[in-house]
Amino acid sequence: MRTPTAPVYAPDFPPEMDWLNAPFVRLGTLLGRHVPLVWFWDYTSLNSIRALPYLQEWNRRYAGAGLSVIGVHSPQFGFGKGPHNVRAALERLEVDFPVALDSDFEVWKLYGNEVWPSLYLWDRRGVLRHYQHAEGGYLETEEAIQELLLEIDEELVMPEPMRPLRATDWPGALVQPPTPHTYIDEDRSGRAVETGDRLAVTYSGASAAAVLDGTGNVDVSIDGETVAMLRLHGPDLYELYESKRPERHELALEFLSPATAYMFSFAPGPA
């Protein structure tokens, strides 16, 4: 397990926070018979979305044994502060564990968090026993979950850990980093685009996505060839293109109606 060198105790959530999928969660009431896993994420963060299936499966596997998965939604963009937008995303993504709406980054700062996604795993006494910043470490995290649950009930029978979903998720996998996230505007507030506008970016990676807002259509082209047409349904992360291995491409979006563009995101592939 990735454990701090000195004991760190779980800070509780501010009582004024709003929640989805639960009226309120207090860590103090979970201790003793539960292992809390606090996961910082954003529904428009590509790295968060890639990690989400692991969180959902761990919740399914271990909730009955005492694991309490708690999401903290700390938004990258202003629209992510809207509870209705987050609620709609939870429904699309089939997220059913409790999610705290950390619109002012209050919990983010309380934890000293720095990246999306990040997770913190606390034992039954409220001591931090494992943490993971950014993607990865899935096997190590599930093994830590099992170890802490066995501390509560040593007679539990544990399943084999999840098989990695991607080649880059295997322990020790050689990963080729992608082009960093590219914000359309430096102030991260988004850029209004009109019908006929075109945004292009050259990137390296195994997949590409964009954070967009609107209700119209967008043509997606790779190296000058149209590969898809997106139908926008409001502010969200839209997957654009995926390949089996990292590749270098020019990605272009042509907007067929007005919209707002916030960011391009890219995912790694096997080296």
Identity at 243, one-letter amino acid code? S
Q: Indicate which CATH number applies to the domain containing 83.
A: 3.40.30.10
Does position 215 have pLDDT exceeding 90, yes or no?
A: yes
Asked which of 169, 186, 203 is the last residue of a domain, the reply is 169
Q: Write down the pLDDT at residue 188.
A: 85
Within-domain flag for 9: no
DSSP letter assigned to residue 271: -
Asked which of 169, 188, 211 is the last residue of a domain, the reply is 169
> pLDDT by residue (tens digit) across 245-263?
999 999 999 999 999 999 9
Average model confidence (pLDDT) across the chain: 96
Residues spanned by the domain of 53? 18-169
CB 191 within 8 A of CB 260: yes
> pLDDT by residue (tens digit) across 231-249?
999 999 999 999 989 999 9
Q: Write down the pLDDT at residue 119.
A: 98
> pLDDT by residue (tens digit) across 4-46?
877 898 999 999 999 999 999 999 999 999 999 999 999 999 9
Q: Write down the pLDDT at residue 7.
A: 83
Asked which of 124, 144, 169 is the last residue of a domain, the reply is 169
User: How many domains does the chain fold into?
Assistant: 2
C-alpha distances in angstroms, 188 versus 1, 211, 264, 271?
A: 35, 11, 11, 31
Looking at the fold, whether 25 and 125 belong to one and the same domain comes out as: yes
CA–CA dist 44, 77 (Å, integer): 9
- pTM for the complete prediction? 0.96
Within-domain flag for 228: yes
Does position 198 have pLDDT exceeding 80, yes or no?
A: yes
